[in-house]
Amino acid sequence: MKLCVVGYGAMGRIVCELAKEELAYPVSLECEFKTLEETDKCFDCIIDFSHPSNLDMIVSFAKKYHKPVVFATTGFTEKDRLKIQDLAKSVPVLLSANFSLGVILLNRLVKQITPILKDGYDIEIVEAHHHNKVDSPSGTANMLLSTVMAATEYHPEYGRQGNGIRHPKEVGMHSIRGGSIVGEHEVLYCGLDEVISLKHQAQSKRIFAVGAIKAAHFLINQPVGFYDMEDVLFGKEK
């Protein structure tokens, strides 16, 4: 397998470093190839760790040359997501809010235990990242929220201010920004006299690169369609 990595920022560099033997080349304004069309097209899968502004280029190229795409970029709008879903009608596409294998397992655990605990426990989600992170809450926190909401139909409450009493059918969402925190996510189930905590802490960004490469290995063997990291770990649900 040969990979083309779009984006040569911090994450793009790590992917290139880890995928040395499988790397065809990176595509970025800082590199020899500025666009996908400038390449020799001799690769099997695209890993996008760049910026949403590159989406149209990637979609157009992938459709034209039938290249699978792993989207690891964050900050996509709802309109962008519709474009990605449309691309999945032509080529295999994988999109995930987080490529840490541990986070995907965390999300699976949240999916399993929330229906069991929802009636007797208050649910809170807390995430922490470095002070340069742009989006808040994080994409991963929103993924966990979606999983909780699918099992409960509760509504999110973003932070708290004032003296209002907590509504029993809400999910608290809290964001911390500081220093060089790579990423921490915790889902708290708070009951009477006990608290159950599911927590994941990222120690470095390498875990996201490892997951993206694993996703690419998975994707090149799949038929046309839309996939996520749960499919990589647990198989596509029918």
Active-site amino acid positions? 129, 133
| CB hemisphere CA count around 18 (13 angstroms) | 18
Apex CA 147: angle with CA 144 and CA 152, to 5°? 125
Question: What letter would DSSP give residue 50?
Answer: S
Report the 10 Å Cβ neighbour count for 150. Answer: 12
Structure tokens at 69: 């795409």
Mapping DSSP onto H, E and C, the string for 110-150 reads HHHHHHHHCCCCEEEEEEEECCCCCCCCCHHHHHHHHHHHH
Q: In the block, which residue shows the tokens 């875990």?
A: 207
